[in-house]
Amino acid sequence: MDAIGYRRLITKARFAFARSQRWRIATILLIVLCTFSNDSSGQRRRSRARPPAPKTSIDYSKFFHTTSEHRQTCDACHKGPTENWKKVRGFPDLADYPDHEACVGCHRTQFFRGARPEICTVCHTKVSPRDDERFLFRKRDAERQFSIEFPHDKHQDVIALFRRWERAETGLLQRVSLVLPPSDKQKSYNNCTICHSTMEKVPKVPVSGWVDNFVPTADTFKSSPLGHEACFNCHWKAQEPINSDCAGCHKLATKPFLVNAAPERISVKFRHQREQHIAECTTCHIQITKAASLRGLKPDVPITSCTECHNKDGLRLDVTNELEALDKNRNFACTYCHTSDKGRLDAPASHYLIAGREPVKRKDLK
Ligand code: HEC
Ligand code: HEC
Ligand code: HEC
Ligand code: HEC
Ligand code: HEC
Ligand code: HEC
Ligand code: HEC
Ligand code: HEC
Ligand code: HEC
């Protein structure tokens, strides 16, 4: 290689190096930005925003299913039924943490490090070689890592059928009454109440606080299943997904999320248990029985299911009145059905439609 060729090579390498440095700086900036914006967006499904920690400072007190070495078949760690099932459940279930065996193979270092190995606190309340006391499984206030796959469409008829069996076969009756909340026993609209009962406690205050300081009552919300009792009476050894096919029902969520927080709502002021709101569930949830999955189910309840009572001449004109208030003041927040986070946005076309008007944008108003 001659001198010029050599110099050219060096220059090229320097350029490549400078470019890679720029990339590195850009990447770091991006990560910082993402972390920051994740923290400040007070969403319900808050990300845990883990900073890119150097190898030495791994937090061994929190277990993530997303860590690549943890992405194994579920029963590599969760061996069911767990020994404690009789004490905790009426049926053979996973009611405890995985055993030590599931971890020591890879985490010998963490298990035997120092007097108080951090990793023990994933499962144990105290770190002690003698104490086996564990947290409640699952931890009630911790973020969830899995969401549920429940195709409502496939279950419409089977569940109706199942409730007829309920009267014929006592074994099944016991299982159904296990999940049927006492308060909803008399009426079980379209069998939805087997799985969705009225909430009994006000959900925890969201991290960012209640919008407008509006605290909804507990009976605003319907709950969703918390465990296998809603599924395993059918999905046991024969009906797919069978009880050992965990991934048939559990999908790794894109971000860990809190369940004890208030359900994500568009109309948070709508209260299910208001006398006039109690009706067959599918009169409002018109999409659900056709829903093959829960993804993209928006809006599940269209405003047309409110029109008959809330926007009718001679009765109430809640939507029309708010649209008129908006005409007069483009900063008007609609707070009859919404809190101001939604009520300050442009009203969707559906709202103008039921008021019999052409849609307008706030920015086009005087
Ligand atoms: C490498 C071991 C391991 C594997 C593999 C594993 N888990 Fe877990 N799982 C755990 C541990 C440990 C906990 C307790 C975590 C905690 O409480 O912080 C847990 C907790 C859970 C929970 C309750 C907490 C939550 O995030 O909702 C569910 C549900 C769960 N696992 C489902 C599954 C499913 C489904 C699979 C297979 C797709 C699976 N796990 C695979 C170790 C494992
Ligand atoms: C196949 C090997 C393997 C098994 C089995 C395994 N881990 Fe891990 N785990 C890892 C690796 C690799 C990491 C990444 C950090 C590191 O290198 O230590 C990790 C990380 C962790 C972390 C840090 C947070 C995270 O999730 O990234 C915790 C806590 C943890 N493991 C707990 C457990 C527990 C509890 C079990 C048993 C239920 C378990 N692990 C089973 C390989 C494994
Ligand atoms: C992935 C969850 C998990 C982690 C992490 C974990 N344990 Fe356990 N531990 C268990 C379970 C489950 C049992 C019950 C085992 C049984 O009864 O068969 C148990 C039992 C014990 C017992 C009772 C005696 C025994 O061995 O059965 C002691 C003591 C104990 N653990 C200490 C520890 C210590 C110390 C650490 C940390 C170095 C630790 N554990 C980490 C889940 C865990
Ligand atoms: C066998 C149990 C079961 C039955 C019966 C059932 N659902 Fe569901 N439903 C679920 C599960 C599981 C979810 C998912 C909850 C989750 O993501 O944690 C769900 C989710 C929903 C959601 C979305 C909730 C949200 O927070 O986004 C609505 C709305 C809903 N169901 C309405 C209904 C209606 C209306 C009926 C009756 C036609 C019905 N369900 C029947 C189990 C059931
Ligand atoms: C009069 C209309 C109406 C009826 C009847 C109705 N719902 Fe709802 N439901 C709604 C509205 C509105 C929402 C909130 C949607 C939003 O704001 O995103 C909702 C939300 C839900 C949710 C999500 C959790 C929550 O409370 O936010 C579930 C689950 C649900 N309904 C189940 C049911 C079940 C089961 C029945 C029958 C017993 C029922 N609904 C009857 C209008 C109705
Ligand atoms: C009354 C009995 C019954 C109950 C309770 C029940 N299921 Fe099912 N489930 C069935 C039947 C039957 C099918 C098959 C329907 C079909 O293929 O048309 C099915 C299908 C499914 C499928 C789709 C499987 C596939 O191959 O596409 C999933 C996922 C599922 N159920 C999840 C659940 C979950 C989660 C629960 C509890 C919240 C639950 N089921 C409760 C009877 C039930
Ligand atoms: C037929 C559907 C279905 C199958 C199969 C299934 N689960 Fe679940 N599981 C659910 C539902 C529904 C819940 C309650 C809602 C939730 O946790 O999001 C649940 C809850 C859990 C919980 C929390 C339990 C509690 O009491 O707090 C754990 C842990 C869990 N599942 C792990 C598993 C594992 C591991 C497998 C496979 C061995 C499995 N599940 C198979 C539907 C299923
Ligand atoms: C009678 C109750 C009611 C009133 C009054 C009402 N809305 Fe709504 N709004 C709903 C319902 C139900 C939905 C969901 C169905 C839809 O989008 O049509 C909704 C949806 C929305 C959405 C879409 C939110 C999203 O995340 O998808 C916005 C924005 C909105 N409304 C703004 C307004 C504004 C602005 C006003 C006042 C001019 C208003 N609403 C008055 C019931 C109401
Ligand atoms: C069958 C009639 C009927 C339907 C359908 C109906 N509502 Fe209502 N709603 C009422 C009545 C009556 C009131 C009490 C009005 C009053 O006296 O101020 C009310 C009150 C409310 C309130 C005030 C809060 C409260 O509980 O006092 C909100 C918000 C509301 N409805 C939202 C909705 C939404 C959103 C829908 C559609 C998803 C809807 N309603 C469907 C009859 C209905």
* Amino acid letter, 345: L
Q: Which residue do the tokens 């029309």 mark?
A: 320
Instruction: Supply the pTM of this predicted model.
Output: 0.85
**Atom nearest to 58 CA in ligand 2:** 23
Among the residue ranges 24-38, 91-105, 211-225, 248-262, the one predicted with the least confidence is: 24-38
As a whole number, mean pLDDT of residues 162-177 equals 43
d(CA 330, CA 347): 11
pLDDT of residue 65 exceeding 70, the answer is yes
Is the CB of residue 241 below 6 angstroms from any atom belonging to ligand 6?
yes
pLDDT of residue 325 exceeding 60, the answer is yes
Instruction: Pick the more confident residue, 65 or 173.
Output: 65
Q: Compute the distance from residue 319 Cα to the ligand 7 centre, in Å.
A: 41
Closest residue by CA, ligand 2 atom 37: 103
Residue 229: per-residue pLDDT = 86
Average pLDDT value for the chain? 79
Judged by its nearest atom, the ligand closest to the C-alpha of residue 255 is: 1
45, with CB counted inside 10 A (0-12, 13-18, 19+), is middle
Residues paired with residue 261 on neighbouring β-strands, in sequence order: 204
Residue 349: per-residue pLDDT = 96
Closest residue by CA, ligand 4 atom 24: 224
As a whole number, mean pLDDT of residues 22-44 equals 37
Cis peptide before 54 (omega within 30 of 0): no
* Amino acid letter, 276: Q
pLDDT tens column, 206-264: 888 899 999 999 999 999 888 898 888 888 888 999 988 999 999 998 888 877 677 88
Q: How many CA atoms lie within 13 A of 5 on its CB side?
A: 2
Instruction: Pick the more confident residue, 118 or 48.
Output: 118
Residue 64: per-residue pLDDT = 95
> Sorting pLDDT into bands at 50, 70 and 90, what band is 180?
very low
**Atom nearest to 303 CA in ligand 8:** 12
Is the CB of residue 153 below 6 angstroms from any atom belonging to ligand 4?
no
Residue 362: per-residue pLDDT = 96
